[in-house]
Amino acid sequence: MEKKGTKLLEGSIWRGIVGFAIPIFLGNLFQQLYNTVDSLIVGKFLGSEALAAVTSSGSLIFLMVGFFNGIAIGAGVVISKYFGAKDYETLKKAVHTDVAFGLAAGVILTALGMLLAPLMLQWMGTPTEVLPNSIAYFRTYFAGSVAFVMYNIVMGILQAVGDSKHPLYYLIFSSVVNVLLDLLFVGVFKWGIASAALATVLSQAASAILCFLRLVRSEEVYQVCIRDIRFHPQMLRQIISMGLPTGLQNSIIAIANVVVQSNINAFGMLVVAGSGVYSKIEGFVFLPITCFSMSLTTFIGQNLGAKQFDRAKKGARFGVVCSILLAEAVGLIVYFAMPVLASLFDSNPNVIAIATLQARTESLFYFLLAYSHCISGILRGAGKSSVPMYVMLVSWCAIRITYITVAVRIVPAVQTIYWAYPMTWSISSAIFLIYYLKVDWVHGFEMLKE
């Protein structure tokens, strides 16, 4: 029987990648929309102080979630390679080990998030007037850790075998649920800031359950049998060895961003709110970058698993070009439209001015961000996840923190912090370009074996 997902292994390269990327793009769009709805509704109904509380938690949330999501990405690479090599027995072990890991990780993350919330928010220098709301939002969000970890796990499995459509359908449904619950909890019931996090948790749980049921009811080789969910030790080692570099990269970069956020917090609540508004809008910029990066990881993994090396190289080039063009087009829109976009979140002119300042410092450099992410996705698909880890740790963590620590003391302005991003994107892009052109990342690939 022909297995679903083979469109990435045969036929038109650009149609395969774009056809796979579009549902991911739309899914990420809806996810970003319902994350943004939290801020829009909180800002309109609860004011700038509550908005600052929501947005100031973003870096810390990514710090806690990023490590486990990195492991999930590693699992997707392993699954995509076994799928491409048609080693379906080993594929089943990978799938069930991945699900078991997600359940365990969700429980651990719940405990860590609930316990460490006050300490970490204080360590970040969260403004005193914002701190109680930030803790309430953070703890409510992490009470639902199992839901969003499992969604990323099961979505990753489906995407690894070439199914990017069903996660989209489920995410659209959960996005609608999130908007309705936000309006109900915050706008009608007046339950406060924690209820915005509760709406997100409930909607994410809905999409996770739907994705999981899709895997359980599937008749494909990647079907999940509940009685078979357990750790296969050798497979778990493969998944962790593949995902650990990405998990560490996410966490350490998140630490760098927490340092950045701490410096932003020092400029007061209005600056925190303005930068938070910008970060919500910037999330939409990440959509074409993320969708092509994720598509390339799966495309490269499947085709190298099938030993279609030339096809992998052609797909990599196509994905990089499309991603940087789309990112820069969105960057131009953000550059000119930011005052209007920011006013949707907060009518305070100071908040709008800060968001606009950050946009006009960073947005014309989005093509560099796109290039770095795409090359990272390609290398992960090729089994070289340690390379982007080292590059990102040096450029996006060590250099970024060093720059901010020194530069803010010399020029104590918030724009000094904003310049850290274009500068470090440029450094990572230069390193990746040299590596991509000089190293044979394709033919050095060897199929993972249990």
Asked if 41 and 182 touch (Cβ cutoff 8 Å), the reply is yes
CA distances from 22 to 243, 256, 320, 436 (A): 25, 31, 15, 26
pLDDT given for residue 414 in this prediction: 94
Task: Spell out the residues 6+ positions from residue 112 whose beta carbon is closer than 8 angstroms to its own.
Answer: 64, 142
b/e sequence 198-225, b meaning 16+ C-beta within 10 Å: bbbbbbbbbbbbbbbebbeebeebbebe
Model pLDDT, residue 179: 86
Residues contacting residue 5 through CB under 8 Å, at least 6 positions apart: 83, 161, 162, 163, 302
Give the per-residue pLDDT at 2. 42
Q: Are 193 and 141 in contact (CB under 8 A)?
A: no
Q: What is the pLDDT of residue 72?
A: 83
Helix, strand, coil percentages in the chain from 3-state DSSP, rounded to 5: 85, 0, 15
Where the chain has pLDDT below 50, the residues are 1-3, 445-450
What pLDDT score does 254 carry? 75
Per-residue model confidence (pLDDT) at position 428: 96
Q: Supply the pLDDT for residue 1.
A: 39
Residue with tokens 């492991």: 71
Closest alpha carbon to 426 in 367, 376, 374, 342: 367
Q: How many CA atoms does the CB half-sphere of 271 hold within 13 Å?
A: 16
Give 16's contacts (C-beta < 8 A, 6+ positions apart).
7, 8, 299, 315
Q: Which of 383, 387, 385, 386 is nearest to 449 (CA)?
A: 383
Cα separations (Å) of 240 from 168, 246, 309?
Answer: 27, 10, 25
* Residue 117: per-residue pLDDT: 80
Report the pLDDT value the prediction gives residue 448, as an integer from 0 to 100.
44
Q: Which residue has the tokens 């994905």?
A: 319
Give me the pLDDT at residue 358, please: 96
Q: Tokens 């943004």 identify what position?
A: 36
C-alpha to C-alpha distance for 37 and 48, rounded to whole angstroms? 15
Amino acid at 430: A
357/342 Cα distance (integer angstroms): 11
pTM of the model: 0.73
**Location of structure tokens 């080693």:** 87
